[in-house]
């Protein structure tokens, strides 16, 4: 019999996830703690190598719920991880310009300067990949290509894991200084570029605060593959060692995530407050970015639309050389924890 797992490391992105709510409500800690396992926040570690596992999934016995680009990258690098759930919470994905730019539609972007983040020292620059995805999807709707624009890079120093994250009243807050962020937004306001891509609650707020014009919101397009990006779908991933040797912990993780999501579906106002803390935003901008029904969008499943989108996005990352090799997303998925929970629910109902 395998000895109980000592420590489970968890991490989630500052976006709407069932794992984030499960952590805030203490349900992950309680569920896994009942198995004799302590729960620790990976991004709050003082060890940068531990924090970097949020992006490269190098830490054994860990779980990550968030944007799929780092998870796909880690898998393409040979990390033995498995996806045990996919969540799809649509969010605003904005191509933004200044009001005086003369750019009103996607067609007007042709020949103009587009600002892109460039984290040259990061293992995987997910910010650049998601911006290119949003841009390419928008241009495709009008028969244009990324090559029809002039790309302008905004260089960031360091890596995403340099600053330690700390929890302040339930909100994960980066210790990084503010002047090191949003360089492409600053470039847009200064007139150095004509358009940029931003997404989520911060994008909705910044577009409003600076009076920016939204050329298109690909996050609201009816075609799922146009909406598909880093956050659609989000991966709930664990390492294979956890699955093979501590299956009860892996199942407990998913159980706490699904419990949090089911709770959210009947508690819209409280959920918005939790999501505001997760995104370091206000309840208003949570609704603006994720919809008035944001509480209903928290659903972790393994449905065909999400799997197809994950595969399509994997092809995109390979085509743009963000990952060295493509792979079959279906081979990456392990349905055992979800099947086990569904079987248990069916047995209880019977």
| For residue 345, pLDDT beyond 80 | no
pLDDT in tens, 128-174: 999 999 999 999 999 999 999 999 999 999 888 877 777 776 677 66
Residues in the chain: 350
| For residue 180, pLDDT beyond 80 | no
pLDDT in tens, 283-295: 999 999 999 999 9
Q: What is the mean pLDDT of residues 94-98?
A: 98
Question: Can you give the pTM of this predicted structure?
Answer: 0.94
pLDDT in tens, 191-209: 999 999 999 999 999 999 9
Tell me which of 162 and 113 has the higher pLDDT: 113
List domains and CATH numbers for the chain: 7-89+232-349 (3.40.190.10), 93-227 (3.40.190.10)
- What integer best gives the mean pLDDT of the chain? 93
**Whole-number Cα distances in Å, 43 to 8, 54, 203, 282:** 13, 7, 23, 22
Q: How confident is the model at residue 177 (pLDDT cuts 50, 70, 90)?
A: low
229, 130 Cβ separation under 8 angstroms? yes
Q: Checking DSSP bridges between strand 7-12 and strand 38-41, what pairing results, if any? A: parallel
How many C-beta atoms lie closer than 10 Å to residue 166's C-beta?
13
- pLDDT for res 181: 74
- pLDDT for res 346: 52
- pLDDT for res 176: 61
pLDDT in tens, 26-68: 999 999 999 999 999 998 899 999 999 999 999 999 999 999 9
Q: What is the mean pLDDT of residues 91-116?
A: 98
135, 144 Cβ separation under 8 angstroms? no
42, 10 Cβ separation under 8 angstroms? yes
Q: Which residues of 82-104 are buried (b: 16+ CB within 10 A; e: fewer)?
A: bbbbbbbbbbbbbbbbbeebebe
46, 78 Cβ separation under 8 angstroms? no
Q: How confident is the model at residue 3 (pLDDT cuts 50, 70, 90)?
A: confident
Q: How confident is the model at residue 349 (pLDDT cuts 50, 70, 90)?
A: very low
| For residue 350, pLDDT beyond 50 | no
Q: How confident is the model at residue 348 (pLDDT cuts 50, 70, 90)?
A: very low
Tell me which of 4 and 163 has the higher pLDDT: 4
Q: What is the mean pLDDT of residues 213-220?
A: 98
| For residue 339, pLDDT beyond 90 | yes
| For residue 179, pLDDT beyond 80 | no
- pLDDT for res 1: 56
């Amino acid at each position: 019999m395998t000895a109980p797992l000592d420590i489970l490391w968890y991490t989630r992105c500052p976006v709407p996830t069932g794992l984030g709510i499960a952590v805030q409500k203490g349900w992950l800690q309680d569920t896994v703690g009942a198995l004799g396992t302590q729960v620790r926040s990976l991004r709050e570690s003082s060890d940068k190598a531990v924090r970097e596992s949020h992006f490269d999934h190098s830490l054994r016995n860990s779980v990550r719920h968030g944007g799929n680009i780092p998870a796909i990258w880690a898998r393409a690098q040979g990390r033995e991880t498995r996806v045990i759930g996919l969540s799809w919470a649509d969010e605003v994905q904005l191509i933004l310009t200044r009001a005086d730019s003369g750019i009103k539609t996607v067609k007007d972007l042709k020949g103009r300067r587009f600002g892109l983040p460039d984290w040259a020292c990061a293992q995987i620059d997910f910010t650049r990949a998601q911006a290119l995805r949003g841009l390419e999807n928008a241009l495709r709707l009008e028969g244009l290509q990324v090559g029809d624009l002039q790309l302008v890079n905004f260089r960031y120093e360091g890596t995403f894991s340099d600053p330690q994250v700390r929890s302040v009243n339930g909100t994960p807050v980066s210790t990084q200084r503010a002047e090191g962020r949003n360089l492409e937004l600053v470039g847009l306001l200064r007139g150095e570029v004509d358009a940029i891509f931003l997404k989520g609650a911060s994008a909705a707020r910044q577009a409003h605060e600076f009076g920016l014009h939204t050329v298109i919101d690909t996050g609201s397009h009816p075609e799922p593959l146009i909406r598909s990006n880093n956050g659609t779908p989000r991966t709930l991933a664990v390492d294979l060692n956890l699955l093979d040797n501590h299956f009860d912990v892996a199942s407990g993780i998913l159980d706490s995530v699904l419990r949090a999501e089911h709770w959210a579906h009947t508690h819209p106002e409280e959920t918005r407050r939790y999501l505001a803390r997760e995104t370091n935003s206000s309840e208003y901008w949570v609704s603006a970015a994720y919809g008035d029904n944001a509480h209903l969008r928290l659903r972790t499943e393994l449905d065909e639309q999400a799997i197809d989108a994950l595969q399509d996005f994997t092809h995109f990352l390979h085509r743009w050389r963000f990952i060295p090799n493509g792979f079959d997303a279906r081979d990456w998925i392990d349905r055992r924890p979800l099947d086990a929970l569904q079987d248990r629910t069916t047995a209880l109902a019977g």
